[in-house]
Structure 1
Amino acid sequence: MALAKKGSRRIVVDGVEYRWRVSRKHWCCSYDGVTLGYRVEDASSPGTTLVVETGRPAVFEPSLAPGELVLPREVAAGIRAALSDGWTPRSDGSPFKLHLSAV
């Protein structure tokens, strides 16, 4: 399922433009809803969505916007890790899941 343009953020990693968005959906994060996650897709030719579980607790406070919970440098690092693990963002297929450990 493609990301909606509204609410997603643009990021360029190694010359390629992606869109990303923090997700509270259960298929993105742990089923108990306590792990923070985000989704990423290629901006020009969306294919397989990258689903990243950060391993960090999700703290959704009204004073914090979702974009403030995950930093762009974290997203860039997640994209690079997924690409090295075999994520092909322009190919069709099931979401590519990446689990990062909490730091």
Structure 2
Amino acid sequence: MTKKAAERLSAVMEAEGKKGFGLRMEVTTGGCSGMNYNMSFEKEKKEFDKVFNSQGMQIFCDLKSYLYLKGIEIDFSNDILNGGFQIVNPNAERTCGCGTSFSV
């Protein structure tokens, strides 16, 4: 996770009253490329989660999603056309134009 992404996530967490929560990263089926990225905030990890720390933030990931998310980089951009969170996934063979779905 880049510093910009961590700063933005921390600001969103604070605005939503979820300061101190962790970031849950998940992969679900759907989207134009077959798989979607999902991000949400959670207070605690689940029983079989992988837990990572990046830029002072805890990241939770279930074992199935971890197979697809291993090695990703989460970034944030303020760009007017392509702004928002961006995920660079070295496991993805193809990604959609908006960057929210991928295939392996």
Fold conserved between structures, TM > 0.5: no
Greater share of residues in strand: 2
Larger Rg: 2
